[in-house]
Chains A and B, each alone.
Chain A
């Protein structure tokens, strides 16, 4: 079983739609959780950290359920510029634990 699992998509949605991505992780010792965005042939960039209480940044809302080891990202009012691959990322709690990436979910927002 992969350590971080995501639906690879692609998700093709019209502008203005709401889209949700889900992710599960297998290591219960994971302590930090993130969503990264990666544009085609570019480096990943941090979109937002994910906290147990849930957090929102403009049109983006992230949720974490530690009991189910489940992370979600909701994008409201999708824009063409949201088209990218969204990577679910987890990290353990000791100093030398790396970021562990999911395979990514590809989103295409269509006009």
Chain B
């Protein structure tokens, strides 16, 4: 049973650029949730995908978008990066919307300069 893998682990981007973060879900899981954790804060929910469809979204602007693929892996895309987007981005995979618990990846640390 493999865990949740996120890539890249670290990334530095310039303001205004676009970024794609990737997450491979745990074997047998069909739901992926993305969270943003700024320094000194708790993780904030961005959105959730269940069987390739977005089925929940937090208070993030449309420039945050995502995809889930048939193998349940997922991408988070952020356009027009802003300095405040600098954070740890966490992916959590689960079975059936997290009703049986979540497994978090180790995150991607994004720095926007």
Contact = CB atoms under 8 A, between A and B. Distances in A.
Contacts of A42: 106-107
For the complex, would chain A's binding face be called helix, strand, loop or mixed by DSSP majority?
loop
B94 to A, nearest CB: 10
B2 interface: no
Interface stretch (A50-58, A62-70, A96-104): A96-104
Given A95-B96, A95-B97, A96-B55, A43 B44 contact: no
Nearest to A2: B42
A4 interface: yes
Interface residues of A, number: 20
Contacts of A8: 40
Nearest to A103: B42
A110 interface: no
Interface residues of B, number: 27
Contact of A95 (B33, B55, B58, B101): B55
Interface string A14-52: 000000000000000000000000000111111000000
B105 interface: yes
A91 B33 CA distance: 13
Interface in B66-113: 88, 90, 92, 96-99, 101-102, 104-107, 109
Given A46-B101, A98-B48, A99-B92, 11 more contacts: A43-B107, A46-B102, A87-B42, A96-B48, A96-B55, A98-B33, A99-B43, A100-B45, A101-B35, A101-B42, A103-B40
Ranked 9 nearest A-B pairs via Cβ: A101-B42, A96-B56, A98-B45, A95-B97, A43-B104, A96-B55, A103-B42, A101-B43, A43-B106
Interface of A: 4, 8, 41-46, 87, 91, 95-104
